[in-house]
Amino acid sequence: MTSVKNLLNLEGQVSVITGGATGIGLQMATGLAEAGSNIVLCSRKVEVCEASCAELEKLGVKTLAVACDVTQPDQVEAMKDAVLKKFNRVDVLMNNAGRAWVAAPEDMPLERWQQVMDLNLNAALICAQAIGREFIKQKRGKVINIASIAGIVGRNPAAYSSIAYSTSKGALVHFTRDLAVKWAQHNIQVNCIAPGFFVTPLNQKLFERNQEYLEAEVPSHRTGGADDLKGAAVLLASQASNHITGVILPVDGGTSVW
């Protein structure tokens, strides 16, 4: 029987986090690094990834920063090759990269809708395919998709109005469930974290405008904090989740059930 401490230990593993250099992605990358995992950060802004990697290395792990547009299959393949060249393994894929466009449904520009879908949904498939082929070869792996409670329940437009975002995250929820079924035969666990509202540099102004409504949606009347996603990320990346797959885990202070 393995101890809980060892089940949650990620020492020596390699985790790829898309869009993980800032915001909630960096919070989760930090949690994985604190549990011992080596970290790969990728985004179009490689200099931001490099700066975050430098901070993560202070935790005693190895890192890799890769310039990668995750909507482009050739760049994702190149990123995967870079990971394997440096570490000779990959254990966790976290599909975290995302974007939103705030507009009333009747005013949502089709071009913006398509951009949101491309990054929030299509990129998750592209990355899952590239990294998943390696997981299938090694007969193990963890895929963690980052959705949102906006993909589970409707949102008060006074708090947040982006139907493209919520639709893409709802699709990512079902992508998680179906991929979990398809890849269970390969000993690959596919799960999803659905955060509530977390204040990040990208949504700081939105929070300041709508703070009253956003906090009123949460039973505890507070938004997500700086450590609130770490535990969920480590659980789903670790051996502790070896019999957990297809799960949508809200980290929202109860928003989705109130």
User: Does 256 fall in a domain?
Assistant: no
CATH of the domain at 81: 3.40.50.720
Residue 134: domain span: 4-251
> Is 258 a domain residue?
no
**Tell me: the pLDDT tens digits for 223-241?**
999 999 999 999 999 999 9
- Distance between CA atoms of 154 and 256, rounded to whole angstroms? 9
Residue 196 lies in a domain: yes
pLDDT of residue 203: 84
Q: Within its chain, how far is the Cα of 173 from the centroid?
A: 12
Question: In 10 A of CB 215, how many CB atoms?
Answer: 16
**Total structural domains within the chain:** 1
pLDDT of residue 54: 98
- For the question of residue 165 being annotated catalytic, the response is yes
Is the CB of residue 198 less than 8 Å from the CB of residue 24? yes
* Dist CA 96 CA 48 (whole Å): 16
Residue 213's pLDDT is 85
Q: Quick check: is 128 in a domain?
A: yes
For residues 188 and 176, is the Cβ–Cβ distance under 8 A?
Answer: no
257 domain-assigned: no
Residue 186, domain member (yes or no) = yes
Q: Is 95 strand, coil or helix?
A: strand
The residue ranges of the chain whose pLDDT is under 70 are none
What are the Cα distances from residue 75, in Å, to 43, 80, 83, 120? 10, 9, 12, 17
Q: Which of 160, 165, 183, 198 is catalytic?
A: 165
Q: Is residue 134 part of a domain?
A: yes
Please name the helix (run of DSSP H) or strand (run of DSSP E) that holds residue 47, with its range, or none.
helix 46-56
Q: Residue 201's pLDDT is what?
A: 81
Structural domain contains residue 12: yes
Question: CA-to-CA distance for 198 and 214, rounded, in angstroms?
Answer: 10
